[in-house]
């Protein structure tokens, strides 16, 4: 089986669209998809709503999407063709609490694709793709921490012609990595699909 992780440096840079597109373009892999969201102080992990709860029971929540038409990110994965779609919510810094369940899902899956950066603290995927947008200044600490582990950079076409707006981010970390354009809202090119197939095929052939 293969594990693919799609991350990105900020919200709304196209991570969900990339995951959904890969699921749709590679249906033979019978993906189990998983979106991981970490909420800060003042938000409940159970539903992402503002709250004041600080109990241990609310550190994580995991739900399986059943309806592909709800408009949520996990529903988009299901609509794209995922065999199973999960949404994992944790408080910031508590993703470790969800890892036993996540590893169970990995063990049961034919192939697994995640939307996350922080997951790389706990596992080494077969392929890690990072989505970057030169026009978006925000750069998450989790994306910065694992930038040098990216197997390829997916650059939003809307910002490719701009000078990157990121402060204190060394582009040398990704200087030699393959780059692919991602055209919003949900288009990935044949070149990226071929790259993913080649990399995962090589891993399988090597027996990893």
Q: What is the pLDDT of residue 58?
A: 59
- Token pair listed for 173: 């970390």
Backbone φ and ψ of 46, nearest 5°: -65, -40
Q: Is 149 strand, coil or helix?
A: helix
Q: What is the pLDDT of residue 52?
A: 46
Q: Quote the CA–CA distance of 119 and 155 in Å, as a whole number.
A: 21
If you compute the radius of gyration of the chain from its CA atoms, what whole number of angstroms results? 17
CB 127 within 8 A of CB 5: yes
Beta strands 111-115 and 3-8 are parallel
Q: What is the pLDDT of residue 144?
A: 92
Say which CATH superfamily domain 3-206 falls into: P-loop containing nucleotide triphosphate hydrolases (3.40.50.300)
Q: What is the pLDDT of residue 162?
A: 74
* Closest by Cα among 36, 39, 32 to 8: 36
Q: What is the pLDDT of residue 185?
A: 67
Report residues of the chain scoring pLDDT below 50: 41-45, 48, 50-55
* Cβ neighbour number for residue 206 with a 10 Å cutoff: 7
Q: What is the pLDDT of residue 132?
A: 93
Q: What is the pLDDT of residue 41?
A: 43
Residue boundaries of the structural domains of the chain: 3-206
Q: What is the pLDDT of residue 74?
A: 96
Q: What is the pLDDT of residue 172?
A: 87
Q: Is 153 strand, coil or helix?
A: strand
Q: What is the pLDDT of residue 163?
A: 78
Q: What is the pLDDT of residue 188?
A: 93
One-character DSSP codes across 55-91: -GGGSEEEEE---TTS-SHHHHHHHHT-SEEEEEEEE
Give Cα separations from 93 to 58, 60, 120, 172, 199 (angstroms).
13, 11, 13, 28, 31
Helix (H) or strand (E) holding 34: strand 31-39
Q: 3-state DSSP: the chain helix, strand, coil percent, rounded to 5?
A: 35, 25, 40
- State CA 16 to chain mean position distance: 7
Classify burial at 71, counting beta carbons within 10 Å of its beta carbon; exposed 0-12, middle 13-18, buried 19 or more. Answer: exposed
């Amino acid at each position: 089986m293969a594990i693919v992780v799609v991350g990105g440096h900020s919200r709304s840079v196209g991570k969900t669209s990339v995951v959904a597109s890969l699921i749709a373009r590679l249906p033979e892999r019978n993906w189990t998809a998983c979106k991981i969201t970490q909420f800060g102080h003042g938000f409940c992990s159970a539903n992402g709503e503002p709250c004041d709860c600080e109990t241990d029971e609310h550190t994580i929540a995991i739900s399986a999407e059943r309806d592909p038409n709800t408009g949520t990110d996990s529903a988009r994965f299901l609509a794209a063709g995922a065999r199973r779609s999960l949404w994992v919510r944790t408080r910031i810094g508590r993703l470790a609490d969800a890892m036993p369940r996540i590893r169970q899902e990995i063990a049961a899956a034919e192939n697994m694709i995640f939307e996350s950066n922080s997951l790389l603290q706990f596992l080494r995927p077969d392929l890690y793709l990072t989505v970057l947008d030169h026009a978006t200044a925000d750069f998450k600490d989790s994306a910065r921490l694992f930038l040098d582990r990216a197997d390829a950079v997916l650059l939003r076409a809307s910002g490719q012609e701009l000078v990157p707006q990121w402060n204190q981010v060394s582009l040398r970390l990704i200087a030699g990595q393959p780059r692919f354009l991602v055209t919003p809202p949900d288009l990935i090119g044949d070149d990226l699909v071929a790259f993913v197939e080649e990399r995962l095929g090589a891993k399988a052939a090597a027996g990893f």
